[in-house]
Copies of this chain bind each other. A is one copy, B any other.
Amino acid sequence: MNRLFHVPLSPFCRKVRLSLAEKKIEVELVEERYWEQQPEFMRRNPAGKVPVLKMGGRVMTESAAICEYIEEAHPQPALMPEGKDARFEVRRLVAWFDDKFHQEVTSKLLYERVNKKIMGRGYPESKNVKAGAQKIKYHLDYMGWLLDQRRWLAGDVMTLADFAAAAHLSALDYISDVDWNRSAVVKDWYAKIKSRPAFRSILADQVPGFPPPAHYADLDF
Protein backbone atom coordinates (compact mmCIF):
# COMPACT_ATOMS: atom_id res chain seq x y z
CA MET A 1 0.00 0.00 0.00
CA ASN A 2 1.24 3.49 -0.85
CA ARG A 3 1.64 5.79 2.12
CA LEU A 4 1.91 9.54 2.36
CA PHE A 5 3.33 11.03 5.55
CA HIS A 6 1.83 14.49 5.75
CA VAL A 7 0.19 17.22 7.79
CA PRO A 8 -3.31 18.26 6.72
CA LEU A 9 -2.73 21.97 6.01
CA SER A 10 0.71 21.74 4.40
CA PRO A 11 0.43 23.12 0.84
CA PHE A 12 3.28 20.87 -0.29
CA CYS A 13 1.46 17.79 1.00
CA ARG A 14 -1.83 18.97 -0.48
CA LYS A 15 -0.25 19.38 -3.92
CA VAL A 16 0.94 15.76 -3.80
CA ARG A 17 -2.45 14.56 -2.47
CA LEU A 18 -4.22 16.33 -5.33
CA SER A 19 -1.89 14.77 -7.92
CA LEU A 20 -2.38 11.29 -6.50
CA ALA A 21 -6.15 11.69 -6.24
CA GLU A 22 -6.53 13.11 -9.75
CA LYS A 23 -4.74 10.04 -11.08
CA LYS A 24 -6.78 7.75 -8.81
CA ILE A 25 -3.69 6.38 -7.09
CA GLU A 26 -4.73 5.08 -3.69
CA VAL A 27 -2.64 6.14 -0.75
CA GLU A 28 -2.90 5.80 2.98
CA LEU A 29 -2.50 9.16 4.69
CA VAL A 30 -0.38 9.12 7.86
CA GLU A 31 -0.12 12.29 9.90
CA GLU A 32 3.47 13.01 10.88
CA ARG A 33 4.41 15.58 13.50
CA TYR A 34 7.62 16.20 11.57
CA TRP A 35 8.76 19.07 13.79
CA GLU A 36 9.25 16.58 16.64
CA GLN A 37 11.91 14.92 14.47
CA GLN A 38 11.22 11.39 15.71
CA PRO A 39 14.21 9.12 14.98
CA GLU A 40 12.15 6.71 12.85
CA PHE A 41 10.87 9.57 10.69
CA MET A 42 14.32 11.17 10.38
CA ARG A 43 15.76 7.83 9.25
CA ARG A 44 13.25 7.71 6.40
CA ASN A 45 13.80 11.34 5.56
CA PRO A 46 17.01 13.16 6.48
CA ALA A 47 15.52 16.47 5.27
CA GLY A 48 13.10 16.16 8.22
CA LYS A 49 10.05 17.47 6.45
CA VAL A 50 6.80 16.37 4.83
CA PRO A 51 5.54 15.15 2.41
CA VAL A 52 7.23 11.78 2.35
CA LEU A 53 5.71 9.32 -0.12
CA LYS A 54 6.25 5.58 0.13
CA MET A 55 5.31 4.16 -3.25
CA GLY A 56 6.41 0.95 -4.96
CA GLY A 57 9.22 0.31 -2.51
CA ARG A 58 10.65 3.83 -2.83
CA VAL A 59 10.68 6.50 -0.15
CA MET A 60 10.44 9.90 -1.77
CA THR A 61 10.80 13.48 -0.53
CA GLU A 62 10.64 16.95 -2.13
CA SER A 63 7.14 17.67 -3.38
CA ALA A 64 8.10 19.01 -6.83
CA ALA A 65 10.28 15.97 -7.57
CA ILE A 66 7.51 13.68 -6.26
CA CYS A 67 4.92 15.27 -8.55
CA GLU A 68 7.19 14.93 -11.59
CA TYR A 69 7.75 11.28 -10.65
CA ILE A 70 4.01 10.61 -10.32
CA GLU A 71 3.54 12.26 -13.72
CA GLU A 72 6.17 10.06 -15.37
CA ALA A 73 4.94 6.89 -13.66
CA HIS A 74 1.22 7.57 -14.24
CA PRO A 75 0.96 9.91 -17.22
CA GLN A 76 -2.87 9.79 -17.46
CA PRO A 77 -4.79 11.94 -16.78
CA ALA A 78 -2.00 14.37 -17.63
CA LEU A 79 -1.08 17.19 -15.27
CA MET A 80 1.79 18.33 -17.48
CA PRO A 81 0.99 19.63 -20.95
CA GLU A 82 2.72 18.66 -24.18
CA GLY A 83 5.39 20.98 -25.50
CA LYS A 84 8.44 22.43 -23.80
CA ASP A 85 7.13 25.99 -23.62
CA ALA A 86 3.92 24.93 -21.90
CA ARG A 87 5.85 22.64 -19.54
CA PHE A 88 8.20 25.47 -18.67
CA GLU A 89 5.27 27.66 -17.74
CA VAL A 90 3.86 24.96 -15.44
CA ARG A 91 7.20 24.51 -13.68
CA ARG A 92 7.71 28.26 -13.40
CA LEU A 93 4.34 28.68 -11.73
CA VAL A 94 4.76 25.71 -9.40
CA ALA A 95 8.01 27.35 -8.25
CA TRP A 96 6.26 30.73 -8.01
CA PHE A 97 3.69 29.37 -5.56
CA ASP A 98 5.93 27.02 -3.62
CA ASP A 99 8.71 29.55 -3.31
CA LYS A 100 7.53 33.17 -3.61
CA PHE A 101 3.88 32.79 -2.58
CA HIS A 102 4.90 30.47 0.24
CA GLN A 103 7.50 32.86 1.57
CA GLU A 104 5.41 36.01 1.20
CA VAL A 105 1.97 34.69 2.13
CA THR A 106 1.60 31.11 3.41
CA SER A 107 4.48 31.26 5.87
CA LYS A 108 3.26 34.63 7.12
CA LEU A 109 -0.38 33.64 7.67
CA LEU A 110 -0.77 29.89 8.08
CA TYR A 111 2.50 29.31 9.91
CA GLU A 112 1.94 32.22 12.26
CA ARG A 113 -1.68 31.40 13.02
CA VAL A 114 -1.68 27.58 13.01
CA ASN A 115 1.75 25.93 12.88
CA LYS A 116 3.19 27.96 15.74
CA LYS A 117 0.34 26.94 18.03
CA ILE A 118 0.45 23.28 17.04
CA MET A 119 4.23 23.18 17.43
CA GLY A 120 4.11 25.02 20.76
CA ARG A 121 6.20 27.89 19.44
CA GLY A 122 4.25 30.82 20.81
CA TYR A 123 1.84 33.36 19.40
CA PRO A 124 1.45 34.86 15.93
CA GLU A 125 3.62 37.90 15.20
CA SER A 126 1.17 40.56 14.08
CA LYS A 127 3.83 42.15 11.87
CA ASN A 128 4.08 38.94 9.85
CA VAL A 129 0.31 38.41 9.70
CA LYS A 130 -0.14 41.95 8.41
CA ALA A 131 2.57 41.51 5.79
CA GLY A 132 0.99 38.25 4.57
CA ALA A 133 -2.50 39.76 4.45
CA GLN A 134 -1.09 42.60 2.36
CA LYS A 135 0.88 40.41 -0.05
CA ILE A 136 -1.92 37.95 -0.79
CA LYS A 137 -3.75 40.79 -2.56
CA TYR A 138 -0.91 41.18 -5.03
CA HIS A 139 -0.84 37.44 -5.65
CA LEU A 140 -4.61 37.21 -6.18
CA ASP A 141 -4.31 40.05 -8.67
CA TYR A 142 -1.48 38.27 -10.46
CA MET A 143 -3.62 35.11 -10.68
CA GLY A 144 -6.51 37.21 -11.96
CA TRP A 145 -4.25 38.70 -14.63
CA LEU A 146 -3.18 35.21 -15.75
CA LEU A 147 -6.77 33.91 -15.71
CA ASP A 148 -7.97 36.84 -17.82
CA GLN A 149 -5.84 35.38 -20.61
CA ARG A 150 -6.08 31.65 -19.94
CA ARG A 151 -8.64 29.10 -18.82
CA TRP A 152 -6.22 27.65 -16.25
CA LEU A 153 -3.19 29.22 -14.63
CA ALA A 154 -0.54 27.87 -17.01
CA GLY A 155 -2.65 27.66 -20.18
CA ASP A 156 -5.77 26.06 -21.57
CA VAL A 157 -5.59 22.83 -19.61
CA MET A 158 -5.49 22.11 -15.90
CA THR A 159 -1.96 21.31 -14.70
CA LEU A 160 0.24 20.93 -11.66
CA ALA A 161 0.43 24.73 -11.53
CA ASP A 162 -3.29 24.85 -10.66
CA PHE A 163 -2.79 22.22 -7.98
CA ALA A 164 0.18 24.08 -6.50
CA ALA A 165 -1.84 27.30 -6.31
CA ALA A 166 -4.98 25.56 -5.03
CA ALA A 167 -2.93 23.77 -2.37
CA HIS A 168 -1.80 27.10 -0.91
CA LEU A 169 -5.13 28.88 -1.28
CA SER A 170 -7.16 26.00 0.18
CA ALA A 171 -4.92 25.87 3.26
CA LEU A 172 -5.34 29.63 3.70
CA ASP A 173 -9.08 29.35 3.07
CA TYR A 174 -9.25 26.89 5.99
CA ILE A 175 -8.34 29.83 8.24
CA SER A 176 -10.49 32.33 6.28
CA ASP A 177 -7.50 34.22 4.92
CA VAL A 178 -8.62 34.41 1.28
CA ASP A 179 -10.84 37.25 0.10
CA TRP A 180 -12.78 35.55 -2.70
CA ASN A 181 -14.47 38.82 -3.59
CA ARG A 182 -11.23 40.33 -4.81
CA SER A 183 -11.30 38.69 -8.24
CA ALA A 184 -14.25 37.03 -9.97
CA VAL A 185 -12.02 34.99 -12.31
CA VAL A 186 -9.97 33.67 -9.41
CA LYS A 187 -13.14 32.70 -7.56
CA ASP A 188 -14.49 30.93 -10.66
CA TRP A 189 -11.19 29.11 -11.10
CA TYR A 190 -11.23 27.96 -7.46
CA ALA A 191 -14.87 26.86 -7.74
CA LYS A 192 -13.94 24.69 -10.74
CA ILE A 193 -10.98 23.08 -9.03
CA LYS A 194 -12.75 22.71 -5.69
CA SER A 195 -15.56 20.70 -7.27
CA ARG A 196 -13.23 18.03 -8.64
CA PRO A 197 -13.42 14.62 -6.94
CA ALA A 198 -9.67 14.91 -6.25
CA PHE A 199 -10.42 17.78 -3.86
CA ARG A 200 -12.77 15.84 -1.58
CA SER A 201 -10.20 14.56 0.88
CA ILE A 202 -8.80 18.07 1.32
CA LEU A 203 -12.22 19.55 2.00
CA ALA A 204 -12.78 16.90 4.67
CA ASP A 205 -9.61 17.82 6.63
CA GLN A 206 -10.05 18.73 10.27
CA VAL A 207 -7.31 20.17 12.45
CA PRO A 208 -8.03 19.85 16.19
CA GLY A 209 -8.39 23.28 17.78
CA PHE A 210 -8.95 24.92 14.39
CA PRO A 211 -12.47 24.20 13.11
CA PRO A 212 -12.82 25.29 9.47
CA PRO A 213 -15.34 28.00 8.56
CA ALA A 214 -18.62 26.85 6.98
CA HIS A 215 -17.66 28.08 3.50
CA TYR A 216 -14.45 26.03 3.47
CA ALA A 217 -16.05 22.79 2.22
CA ASP A 218 -18.98 24.49 0.48
CA LEU A 219 -18.78 24.16 -3.29
CA ASP A 220 -21.06 27.18 -3.61
CA PHE A 221 -18.97 29.51 -1.43
| Main secondary structure on A side of the interface with B | helix
> A159 on the interface (CB 8 Å rule)?
no
Task: Give how many copies assemble into the complex.
Answer: 2
| Complex Cα–Cα for A61 and B142 (A) | 16
Q: How many A residues are at the interface, by size bracket?
A: 20 to 34
Q: Chain B nearest CB: distance from A74 CB in Å?
A: 10
Q: Chain B nearest CB: distance from A178 CB in Å?
A: 21
> A137 on the interface (CB 8 Å rule)?
no
> A96 on the interface (CB 8 Å rule)?
yes
What B residues does A88 contact at CB under 8 A? 58, 60, 65-66, 68-69
> A117 on the interface (CB 8 Å rule)?
no
**Is the pair A96, B58 in contact by a Cβ cutoff of 8 Å?**
no
> A100 on the interface (CB 8 Å rule)?
yes
20 contacts between A and B (CB under 8 A): A46-B142, A47-B96, A47-B100, A58-B85, A58-B88, A61-B92, A62-B92, A62-B96, A64-B64, A64-B91, A64-B95, A65-B88, A65-B92, A65-B94, A65-B95, A68-B87, A69-B87, A69-B88, A69-B91, A72-B87
